[in-house]
Amino acid sequence: MLPFRHDPLLLSRIKPVPGSDQLASLPLNETSILVISAKNCSEEPLLLQSKSIEVDDGVERPCTLEHGGMDILHPAHLVPGEEFKKVFTVIPKVESSCLHLESVSLRWRRNSEMEDLSTSAATQEWVLTKHQLPDVKAELPPLVLNLEFPPYAVLGDPLMYSVKIRNQTRLLQEVKFSLGDAQGFVLSGSHRDTVFVLPKSEHELSYKLVPFASGPHQLP
Q: What is the pLDDT along the chain (220 residues), one digit of tens a residue?
A: 455 788 898 887 777 666 556 788 999 999 999 999 999 998 989 988 888 887 666 566 788 888 766 666 678 889 999 999 999 999 999 999 888 888 899 999 988 764 554 554 445 588 999 998 889 999 999 999 999 888 888 998 998 889 999 999 999 999 999 988 888 898 888 889 999 999 999 999 999 999 998 888 888 8
Quick check: do 3-139 and 143-211 share a fold?
yes
Residue 121: what pLDDT? Answer: 46
Q: What pairing do the DSSP bridges indicate for beta strands 103-110 and 143-148?
A: unpaired
> Which CATH code, of 3.40.570.10, 3.40.30.10, 2.60.40.10, 1.10.3720.10, is assigned to 3-139?
2.60.40.10
Return the CATH architecture of domain 143-211.
Answer: Sandwich (2.60)
Residue 142: Cβ-neighbour burial (10 angstroms; 0-12, 13-18, 19+): middle
Residues whose CB is less than 8 angstroms from the CB of residue 64 and which lie 6 or more positions away in sequence, other chains included: 89, 90, 91, 93
Task: Give residue limits of the domains in the chain.
Answer: 3-139, 143-211
Residue 146: what pLDDT? Answer: 92
Residue 16: what pLDDT? Answer: 67
C-alpha R_g of the chain:
24
Element holding 122 (H helix, E strand) = helix 120-123
Residues whose CB is less than 8 angstroms from the CB of residue 24 and which lie 6 or more positions away in sequence, other chains included: 134, 136, 137
